[in-house]
Structure 1
């Protein structure tokens, strides 16, 4: 009971950051028996804050697919108009099944409902609880990224790729949402945008210690990815490259090779080593690692693009240098702009 009450208190802190107040409608979305303890904790926390809380619980799927499925965008809400309508009535939706990249989430956001995804282990939620200060730093970074016209990433491994930035907005993830229609993810701590559809060129080289999601594994030998006009045109290397090549080919989808988002991590408490010791969740801590560059392929619907491929690959890269209009923001895996640096990382 003590552990549950502690979790309720943690959820209450998160909901306060999300601006929950008396009379707000807070919906919790779950499926089957998954994360029922999360649902109960959020419902109790919302009631503590005077919110009108309710639970939409979807049936389990026969094949057990859900968050553990590698296919993004196809969710248990697909085709369930009644459940979508119920969730649109909420001011805040706590998403425990991971709706990201789905048309249902976009429809719920369009109604003005703000959405918070929560699927990571409780220990990570506590370790990476967001703060207002983190939000301020990420918003400051967002101003720089939104104003830039070119983004370039280089690394000692041989990465040298340039993005032309004229089409897509900047997305901020600081771990909570208090703005109507806005989505975020707890835990989080990074920002990103997308290059023009035909405006990404160069090469990305993943070196030992870089990460490939959804494999949730570290690269052990270099993967060389060639990019022309916004598309992956070649993947070379040893076993790791062959695995990535085969995975992307398995979707039989030309859009799987489109370039998705690019950005960098800013959470000073996140560690790239997390997936070596914790096999639960989807790896948000590793994505948010301070100074990592997050390179992604596949769907860009989250940015407003037209690529809805179910094949989404996130690749956190370490030790990179990222420049905006030739001005350094991340240098050798460390954030170089003083206003963006976490207090604990300032020299």
Structure 2
């Protein structure tokens, strides 16, 4: 990867991103990286800032091993700031943080304090730059995301169904909902690129029902499409049973059990994708090392169900699944937002 020649369209995409973030020369800008960060993306960030004549500092931290037995991938909960109070203090004094950590700061324990300090965080997903550049930063997506966020914040219940048998209800009152369109220009906010989705973080004991994953749905922790049916039985936020006779169910049962942590079975967030540029077949086109799966989280019309960390319910864990489901119907107080996988 370090020997991959930088292509103009990749650099142009990074320049466009930082321009939309309204970064200015009088701000303190920090690129946050770790030893295992994707170096070509670090280089692109540096070159883009230089092209925009924006001064910046780089903070590099040694990558830390996971503290659990299972292999951790694509959690959005970087542990790189654990035990680094002085670096966290420095980040709190920054205006604009470009997050190039491997897992990202979305669900990191320190992120809340950093955002409360009025810093804004731009998380660049740990993807091959071709993936990032393929997904344009589209103002139309921002409008669609804002509309979806408003609908979720005004709703009292989300109901998710499918012809495969899913029937999930989520209490939406007092639920924190965030929208991500791919860039951030406001203090105290975090965005990730690629963007184009709305997610709600249910309060405790808010999520109940059954989800049926069918062949063609997506497991982004394992970076594979489902090939057999898996059923999640969910009671008061927690997956209580995982049914299924195939490899998919067996892998999920074994993986979650390996954390030895009941919070790994909890609901993290629910929502749907709104990015029409995202490609369903993307998992088949890249090696696993080159792909983090954020494109599939934003895939237009998918229902995104996630387990694990939910900072708004005071739950932190390294156990995590992001599970985009196809062909679901999502309603808010009876109004269809998505109908059998198509945005209404």
Q: TM-score, structure 2 length as denominator?
A: 0.90
Two-structure CA RMSD over aligned residues (Å): 2.0
Alignment of 1:71-90 (within 5 A): 73=77, 75-90=79-94
Match of 2:214 in 1: 207
CA distance in 2, matches of 1:252, 1:33: 27
Judged with a 3 Å threshold, the aligned counterparts in structure 2 of structure 1 residues 232 and 41 are, in CA distance, closer, same or farther, namely same
Q: 110, 119, 134: which is aligned to 2:116?
A: 110
Residue 127 of structure 2 is aligned to residue 120 of structure 1: yes
Q: Deviations over 1:118-177 (max 9, x none)?
A: 122111111112222211111011111110000001011100111111232111111100
User: Is contact 1:295–1:314 with CA below 8 Å preserved after alignment?
Assistant: yes
CA distance in 1, matches of 2:24, 2:154: 34
Residue 312 of structure 2 is aligned to residue 308 of structure 1: no
Judged with a 3 Å threshold, the aligned counterparts in structure 2 of structure 1 residues 298 and 34 are, in CA distance, closer, same or farther, namely closer
Judged with a 3 Å threshold, the aligned counterparts in structure 2 of structure 1 residues 34 and 298 are, in CA distance, closer, same or farther, namely closer
Q: Deviations over 1:247-279 (max 9, x none)?
A: 111111111221121100000010121111212
Alignment of 1:198-237 (within 5 A): 198-237=205-244
Could you say what secondary structure the match of 2:79 adopts?
A: coil
Q: Deviations over 1:216-256 (max 9, x none)?
A: 11111110111122221111001211211111111111112
Q: Deviations over 1:79-123 (max 9, x none)?
A: 112222222232111111122311222222221111111122111
Judged with a 3 Å threshold, the aligned counterparts in structure 2 of structure 1 residues 62 and 144 are, in CA distance, closer, same or farther, namely closer
Q: Give structure 1 regions of 4+ aligned residues with deviation exceeding 4 angstroms.
A: 60-63
Residue range with higher mean Cα deviation, 88-97 or 24-33: 24-33
Alignment of 1:124-139 (within 5 A): 124-139=131-146
CA distance in 2, matches of 1:6, 1:26: 23
Alignment of 1:240-259 (within 5 A): 240-259=248-267
Unaligned runs of 5+ in 1: 337-347
CA distance in 2, matches of 1:17, 1:330: 29
Q: CA deviation at 1:203?
A: 0.5
CA distance in 2, matches of 1:41, 1:85: 26
User: Is contact 1:298–1:313 with CA below 8 Å preserved after alignment?
Assistant: yes
Q: 279, 287, 291: which is aligned to 1:271?
A: 279
CA distance in 1, matches of 2:92, 2:175: 26
Match of 1:296 in 2: 306
**Number of matched residues?**
331
Match of 1:345 in 2: none
Residue 59 of structure 2 is aligned to residue 56 of structure 1: yes
Residue range with higher mean Cα deviation, 280-289 or 149-158: 280-289
Q: TM-score, structure 1 length as denominator?
A: 0.90
Residue range with higher mean Cα deviation, 72-81 or 213-222: 72-81
User: Is contact 1:167–1:196 with CA below 8 Å preserved after alignment?
Assistant: yes
CA distance in 1, matches of 2:237, 2:37: 38
Q: CA deviation at 1:61?
A: 4.7
User: Is contact 1:93–1:113 with CA below 8 Å preserved after alignment?
Assistant: yes
Unaligned runs of 5+ in 2: none
Q: CA deviation at 1:5?
A: 5.0
Judged with a 3 Å threshold, the aligned counterparts in structure 2 of structure 1 residues 103 and 190 are, in CA distance, closer, same or farther, namely same
Judged with a 3 Å threshold, the aligned counterparts in structure 2 of structure 1 residues 62 and 290 are, in CA distance, closer, same or farther, namely closer
Q: CA deviation at 1:334?
A: 0.3
Could you say what secondary structure the match of 2:324 adopts?
A: strand
